[in-house]
Structure 1
Amino acid sequence: MTAPTVVLVHGAFADAASFAPVVTELLDAGLPVRAPAVPNRSLLGDAGYIASVVRQISGPVVLVGHSYGGAVITVAGTEPNVVGLVYLAGYALDEGESLGELQGRFPDSDLATALVYTPFPAGDGQEGTDVSVDVERFPAIFAHDVDPATARVLAVSQRPLAGAAFGEKATAAAWRTKPSWGIVAAADHTINPEVERFGYSRADMTVTELDSSHLMMLSHPREVAAVIREAVDRTAG
């Protein structure tokens, strides 16, 4: 039996370090793990980058996407060696759908009034817009059940998402052909939990609900790792 490699894909306003407790759980279970840094510049560009990471792995892969990372794995998950998908408080887009369109089906979360927009040089003389979360409001909105000392550090070390990513349409929906699991953060103030439930239901995923903030990987690492291990066990072969 070949155990798939678990590739952990972070989302906006965080980085791969947000998976640290889950990585420990998975490594202790003897699973191969990768947690690449996502550029967070464009949905299709980020999906292309993650797809390139997947192609360099010999053997099967289970892709795990948190938040915006869910949209990324929805597109990147069409790689032939991806055998399963796990969404953590994630966006399960359909083909031809954007983050803004999926999110727009439901009332805004608390995040909507806490976003900060700043310009950045996008190349060729063009200017892009970075989106981040107000530092003072970050702990309550993003990480209310995470250790306050950790949340304070996360607030000032955000990895912004380029605003253009919100309007890009997914070119594929890997959940249509790959077995998928989803965890709803029922106490999420970053994404309306109904966005998560809708996407997971539409994809006919195996769904777990946690009474968690958006950063379930830090507040509930054992439960998150357990779902990932289930996906690994069900797809190993």
Structure 2
Amino acid sequence: MKKIILVFLLVIGSFSYSFGKEERNVIRVVGESVVTVAPDTVRLNIDISEIKPTYDEVYLASSKTLDFIQDKLRSKGVKKEQIKTTNFNIDSYYENVRKEDGSYERKFMGYRYSHNLYIELSINDKKIGEVLDVFNGLKIDNIGISLAYKLKDDSEVKNKAMIEAYNDAYQKAKLIAKTGDFSLGKIVEIDYNSKGNNIDVIDFSDRNLNLMKASSNFNFQPEDLKYKDTVTVIWKIK
């Protein structure tokens, strides 16, 4: 009786045991893994925008600002091809203006461009602080800078997380088989994509730092990145 209760608790805790008519002789186990690794790359995300009365003026302003940024960064050793644009757009810009009677009206103020770009540098690159100082010196309407840590190539750690998730499923299956006094047969199915696999998820927003007053004395110590994965494996039991 104690053995049966123990098996039931194990099943409830981490994995499921199928009792349906078509699956009475299988065991379904969910394996999980978390692999931590130190980042090797710093990604600087830069968002800049300006408002001008006319479309031509705002377009010219965006071009001049980008040229200025590229020239300044080149002087710090950053190549033009390292500066990547993720989004650029120009929109009409309106503001809600309060009238004398206390109500508000939507008033056209001109045109605004938004330019989102990023630069990736080695985490040990000594010029990171100098690059940040370039953006501190920009005299434009609005600028936002955030910093993120990542791996330049994460294929190896992804594979490791997947393998560890499978091994976790296998160890759980062996434990429950031993406790329940049965043995594992061949694998019936491996479900890898539809069970909440989040191997690709590295949430930059959790690691963003506001760097509006950056300094050349760049000494941030990043936390390790965490890669998570799950895999569901179904075995025949005998």
- TM-score class, shorter-chain normalisation, is under 0.3
Task: Give the alignment's TM-score, normalised by structure 1.
Answer: 0.20
Tell me which protein shows more helix as a share of its residues.
1
Task: Give the alignment's TM-score, normalised by structure 2.
Answer: 0.20
Higher relative contact order (CA 8 A, sep 6+): 2
Tell me which protein shows more strand as a share of its residues.
2
